[in-house]
Amino acid sequence: MSQQGYVATPPYSQSQSGMGLSPPHYGHYGDPSHTGTPPGVMKPTGPMVAAPGVGLPQSLPPPGPHQFGQNGAPAQGHPLQRFPGAPPINSAAPSYAPYSPTAQSSYPSPMSTSSVSQLGGQLNTMNINSYGSGMAPPSQGPSGPPSAPSQGPPRPPQPSILQPGSQVLPPPPMALNGPGAPPPGHRQDGFPGPAPPGTQLQPPPLPGQTLGPGCPPQPAGYGPQMPGAQLTYPGGFPGGPAQMASLAPAPRKLDPDSVPSPIQVIESDRAARGGQVYATSARGQVPPLVTTDCVVQDQGNASPRYIRCTTYCFPCTSDMAKQAQIPLAAVIMPFATIPPNETPLYLVNHGEMGPVRCNRCKAYMCPFMQFTEGGRHFQCAFCSCVNEVPAFYFQHLDHVGRRLDHYEKPELSLGSYEYVATLDYCRNNKPPNAPAFIFMIDVSYSNIKSGLVKLVCEELKTVLEKLPREEQEETSVIRVGFITYNKVLHFFNVKSNLAQPQMMVVTDISEVFVPLLDGFLVNYQESQSVIHNLLDQIPEIFADSNENETVFAPVVQAGMEALKAAECPGKLFVFHSSLPTAEAPGKLRNRDDKKLINTDKEKMLFQPQTSIYESLARDCVAHGCCVTLFLFPSQHVDVASLGLVPHLTGGTLYKYNNFQMHLDSQQFLNDLRNDIEKKIGFDAIMRVRTSTGTVCLYSSSGLCHLTASSESHNRPGEDRTVKTPFPWPAGFRATDFFGGIFMNNTTDVEMAAIDCDKAVTVEFKHDDKLSEDNGALIQCAVLYTTVGGQRRLRIHNLGLNCSSQLADLYKSCETDALVNFFAKSAFKAILQQPVKLIREILVNQTAHMLACYRKNCASPSAASQLILPDSMKVLPVYMNSLLKNCVLLGRPEVATDERAFQRQLVMSMGVADSQLFFYPKLLPIHTVDVTSKKVPAAVRCSESHLSEEGMFLLTNGLNLFLWLGGSSPPELIQGIFNVPSLAHVNTDMTILPEVGNPYSQTLRVIMGIVQHKRPYSMKLVLVKQRGQLEVAFRQLLVEDKGPDGGPSYVDFLCCVHKAVCQLLN
What letter represents residue 974's amino acid? Q
For residue range 741-760, what is the model confidence (pLDDT) as tens digits? 989 888 899 999 999 999 99
**Sign of the alpha-carbon dihedral angle for 454, 459, 465, 466:** negative
Q: Answer whether residue 359 shows pLDDT above 70.
A: yes
Query: For position 82, what pLDDT does the model report?
Result: 53
**pLDDT grade, residue 735 (50/70/90)?**
very high
H/E segment holding residue 437? strand 436-442
More confident residue, 769 or 27: 769
Query: For position 256, what pLDDT does the model report?
Result: 65
What letter represents residue 386's amino acid? V
- Do the bridges between strand 41-44 and strand 277-279 make them parallel or antiparallel, or are there none, so unpaired? unpaired
CA distance 641 to 620: 15
What letter represents residue 587's amino acid? K
Q: Tell how far CA 180 is from the center of its chain.
A: 34
Question: Quick one: 360 exposed, middle or buried, by C-beta within 10 A (0-12, 13-18, 19+)?
Answer: buried
Q: Answer whether residue 732 shows pLDDT above 70.
A: yes
Query: For position 351, what pLDDT does the model report?
Result: 93
Of the candidates 224, 187, 56, which has an alpha carbon nearest to the alpha carbon of residue 867?
224
Centre a 10 Å sphere on the Cβ of residue 812 and count the other Cβ atoms it contains: 23
Q: With beta carbons less than 8 A apart as the criterion, state whether 732 and 776 touch.
A: yes
Q: Tell how far CA 764 is from the center of its chain.
A: 17
Cα distance from N-terminal residue to C-terminal residue, the chain: 23
Backbone φ and ψ for 523, nearest 5 degrees, come out as: -75, 130
H/E segment holding residue 563? helix 553-566
Coil/strand/helix, residue 707: helix
**pLDDT grade, residue 150 (50/70/90)?**
very low
CA distance 97 to 890: 14
Mean pLDDT of 223-250: 33
More confident residue, 115 or 498: 498
More confident residue, 235 or 525: 525
Q: Answer whether residue 796 shows pLDDT above 90.
A: yes
**Sign of the alpha-carbon dihedral angle for 296, 298, 303, 306:** positive
| Beta-bridge partner residues of 483 | 440, 491
What letter represents residue 604's amino acid? M
**pLDDT grade, residue 98 (50/70/90)?**
very low
Coil/strand/helix, residue 482: strand
Mean pLDDT of 206-233: 34
> DSSP string covering 370-383, please?
EEEGGGTEEE-TTT
Question: Quick one: 265 exposed, middle or buried, by C-beta within 10 A (0-12, 13-18, 19+)?
Answer: buried
Query: For position 289, what pLDDT does the model report?
Result: 97
Centre a 10 Å sphere on the Cβ of residue 429 and count the other Cβ atoms it contains: 12
Of the candidates 122, 257, 309, which has an alpha carbon nearest to the alpha carbon of residue 877?
257
Mean pLDDT of 30-44: 42
Q: With beta carbons less than 8 A apart as the criterion, state whether 1036 and 960 touch.
A: no
Backbone φ and ψ for 277, nearest 5 degrees, come out as: -90, 125
DSSP alpha helix (H) spans, 156-283: 240-244, 262-273
Q: With beta carbons less than 8 A apart as the criterion, state whether 160 and 225 touch.
A: no
- Strand locations in 244-376, DSSP E? 277-279, 295-297, 307-309, 313-315, 329-332, 346-349, 370-372
- Strand locations in 773-830, DSSP E? 776-785, 791-803
Q: Answer whether residue 222 shows pLDDT above 50.
A: no
CA distance 169 to 110: 33
Query: For position 891, what pLDDT does the model report?
Result: 86
CA distance 301 to 174: 29
Query: For position 413, what pLDDT does the model report?
Result: 96
* Cα within 13 Å of Cα(762), Cβ side: 28
The average confidence (pLDDT) of the chain is: 78
Backbone φ and ψ for 546, nearest 5 degrees, come out as: -110, 15
- Strand locations in 901-1059, DSSP E? 921-924, 951-955, 960-964, 1020-1024
Query: For position 412, what pLDDT does the model report?
Result: 97
**Sign of the alpha-carbon dihedral angle for 879, 883, 886, 887:** positive
**To the nearest 5 percent, what fractions of the chain are helix, strand and coil?**
25, 15, 55
Q: Answer whether residue 514 shows pLDDT above 50.
A: yes
Exposure string (b/e) for 544-559, b if CB count within 10 Å is 16 or more? Answer: eeebebbbbbbbbbbb
Q: With beta carbons less than 8 A apart as the criterion, state whether 392 and 39 touch.
A: yes
CA distance 1 to 5: 13
Angstrom distances, CA of residue 925 to CA of 811, 944, 966, 995 = 36, 16, 15, 16
Backbone φ and ψ for 262, nearest 5 degrees, come out as: -60, -35
Q: With beta carbons less than 8 A apart as the criterion, state whether 307 and 798 touch.
A: yes
Question: Quick one: 742 exposed, middle or buried, by C-beta within 10 A (0-12, 13-18, 19+)?
Answer: buried
More confident residue, 589 or 47: 589
Lowest pLDDT segment from 242-256, 311-325, 614-628, 823-837: 242-256
| Beta-bridge partner residues of 279 | 297
Q: With beta carbons less than 8 A apart as the criterion, state whether 776 and 731 touch.
A: yes
Query: For position 827, what pLDDT does the model report?
Result: 97
Q: Answer whether residue 803 shows pLDDT above 80.
A: yes
For residue range 822-835, what is the model confidence (pLDDT) as tens digits? 999 999 999 999 99
Measured in residues, the chain has a length of: 1065
CA distance 734 to 136: 36
